Amino acid sequence: MDTNRLEQNDIQKQSILTLYQNLIESFCDSKFLPQTNIYGLMGGMFLQELIDEGYHFYSLLIYEEHIDLFRVSLYFVDYEKLFRRVGEQSCFIIIKDISLEIVSAFLHTKKLTNNFLSLSLTHYTTSNVSLLKDFIYKEKKAIMRGWGSFEDELIGFKNACLNLRHSRLLSMQPKRVNAPICVIGNGASLDLCIDFLKAYKDSMILLSCGTALKVLRHHGISPDFQIEIERVPYLAEVLKEANLGDIPLLFAQTTDIKACKLAKERYGFLRGGSSSAYLDSTYTPLEFSAPFVGNAGVSIAALLGSDVILCGVDCGYILGYSKHAQHSFYGKEDTQIPNDCFQVEGNKNLQVFSNDLFYLSAKNIEQAIKLYKPNRVINLGYGVRLQHTMSLNEDDFMLKPIDKQKEIARFKENFTAYNLTLDTQEMIISLNAFCKALQDILAKNIHTIQEIFDLTQDVFNLLQKSINDRTMRKSIILLEGSIMHLSYTHLLAQLFAKTIQTTESKKSYSKQDKNNIPIQALKTLYSQSLFSLINECKKAMEVMK
């Protein structure tokens, strides 16, 4: 038994080494380099050597902290030639001061191909270099998450069609209440905020997010609203166990129908980013309300509250604590930090670790606060440090008394009567147009590593162009996640299988052999998968007519 396991491990290791070797050879043979980051030019002679040897860069980011060293590089590097050797609008040179927003935009422009694989060369280390490297590492991890899938989107879409019939929906012109709104997440630090919640529960509106409800109930705290965004079929059972009772429900349109029906009083909002959020173009979705229910809570509070207070919205793991608060749906958890985590700045005096999904959640919270602009956002938690928030302890401030019932009534007035009218024929027309454009892209022959990168980017560009079209948006977002996953998998398969030809071998390539090489077989499989996906979507729309 042990011998067989050892043999299997050896085979697996050898397979991984072979795939890795294929990947390296694919790039070396082609003289085409993936997204490349250079930290410090040091004169740039090495860069000119790569140019002279005929190398091309898919995209290139250069950071030189010292302007004098950049000036030196002007003597050694033929920048005009360098720009011709880099993909269009894909060369980014930063001198001295770093704009993280621009770096983020640079990485997002080619979401698949810029973040699939990259090279990095560091000539020296400074605090700025470390900051930039750390930011790029975290940003790339976040970019590769939150894509979703057609199957999940379709479940949410069907839920939305039912949930939005004869509903009350967040108004296009909401009015702020004259009261702070407290967003309560189920992070470990919620346990440390219980005394504050008990002391000031009558001086603020309490929004319980997801599984925080059971913790609050355990401590005898009844929130004013419960927020849910999950489409999972067991959500109703979770809410029953947590004793939803007569607490009003704030639900995203995609939320499981059975869970919504449990509430005696319910109010809907359109969770941005999901296809069903754009079914009615006269309504504006609630942006940055994912990936977690806490994100939706912060977005609603930032939009409707005079001020926002965060309790248990940790967006990470706190060293020495479990992932969630005690007495929650998750029961007893261990305190081990998962291997895929990285350390981030904590809001208080405890060490905090994040992963790609928590990092994405924290970024979206920061963006929501920036977009909706409440007066102040106070973070009482011990999780990640969030931009645009004040890190305070409960004894650093006091809350004034409010007429709570009056402010809750004003809060509810922001949700007005709504009844969804669905036009699936318009969606089918959009899908047909997208399919035709996709066929034109996939009709191109690909033989080299650069061509496979360009094909992948063309598909991504078509996705973004279609999503930016208000008419097509709701149809294409249904497909977006699965198309991203299929495109990424196709890119992986082509490179690891070493099917790519070099520029030299392409010159001697015979058209009659095109069906005999693996690259075409993989591309055909990719194309068939994409069109099968679109057909499934069209069938679903036909059924829902």
Look at strands 91-95 and 167-170 and give their pairing: unpaired
* Euclidean distance between CA atoms 183 and 299, whole angstroms: 10
What pLDDT shows up at residue 125? Answer: 94
Whether residue 291 has a cis bond before it, omega within 30° of 0: yes
* Euclidean distance between CA atoms 396 and 361, whole angstroms: 27
Run of H or E residues at 127: helix 127-143
Look at strands 60-64 and 35-39 and give their pairing: parallel
Look at strands 266-269 and 317-318 and give their pairing: unpaired
What pLDDT shows up at residue 473? Answer: 94
| Residues with Cβ within 8 Å of residue 348, at least 6 apart in sequence | 381, 382, 391, 393
| Residues with Cβ within 8 Å of residue 346, at least 6 apart in sequence | 318, 352, 382, 383, 384, 385
pLDDT (tens digit per residue) in 148-166: 999 999 999 999 999 999 9
| Residue 461 contacts residue 451 (beta carbons within 8 Å) | no
* Euclidean distance between CA atoms 41 and 121, whole angstroms: 9
User: Is the per-residue pLDDT at 499 higher than 70?
Assistant: no
Tokens representing 287 are 């942006």
Where do the structural domains in the chain lie, given as residue ranges?
24-143, 154-418, 423-543
What pLDDT shows up at residue 515? Answer: 46
pLDDT (tens digit per residue) in 380-421: 999 999 999 999 999 999 999 999 999 999 999 999 999 998
Calculate mean pLDDT across residues 314-340: 95
pLDDT (tens digit per residue) in 467-476: 999 999 999 9
Look at strands 342-344 and 352-354 and give their pairing: antiparallel
pLDDT (tens digit per residue) in 168-222: 999 988 999 999 999 999 999 999 999 999 999 999 999 999 999 999 999 999 9
| Residues with Cβ within 8 Å of residue 200, at least 6 apart in sequence | 182, 399
In our burial notation (b when 16+ CB lie closer than 10 A, e otherwise), range 442-467 reads: beeebbbbbbbbbbbbbbbebbeebb
Calculate mean pLDDT across residues 96-105: 94
What pLDDT shows up at residue 145? Answer: 87
What pLDDT shows up at residue 512? Answer: 44
Calculate mean pLDDT across residues 244-258: 98
User: Is the per-residue pLDDT at 506 higher than 80?
Assistant: no
User: Is the per-residue pLDDT at 29 higher than 80?
Assistant: no
Banded model confidence at residue 519, pLDDT cuts 50, 70, 90: confident
* Euclidean distance between CA atoms 530 and 132, whole angstroms: 36
Tokens representing 272 are 């941005």
Look at strands 352-354 and 317-318 and give their pairing: antiparallel
3-state class of 50 per DSSP?
A: helix
Banded model confidence at residue 307, pLDDT cuts 50, 70, 90: very high
What angle in degrees, to the nearest 10, is found between the helix axes of 518-543 and 424-442?
A: 170
What angle in degrees, to the nearest 10, is found between the helix axes of 473-496 and 150-163?
A: 170
* Euclidean distance between CA atoms 247 and 266, whole angstroms: 9
Does the domain formed by 24-143 have CATH 3.90.190?
A: yes
3-state class of 83 per DSSP?
A: helix
Q: What is the DSSP string of 230-282?
A: ---TTHHHHHHHHT-TT--EEEETTS-HHHHHH-SSEEEE-BTTSGGGGSSTT
Tokens representing 475 are 């149809």
Give residue for tokens 């015979």. 510
Run of H or E residues at 390: strand 390-391
Look at strands 390-391 and 352-354 and give their pairing: unpaired
pLDDT (tens digit per residue) in 42-76: 899 999 999 999 999 999 999 999 999 999 999 99
Banded model confidence at residue 494, pLDDT cuts 50, 70, 90: confident
What pLDDT shows up at residue 16? Answer: 64
3-state class of 284 per DSSP?
A: coil
User: Is the per-residue pLDDT at 36 higher than 90?
Assistant: yes
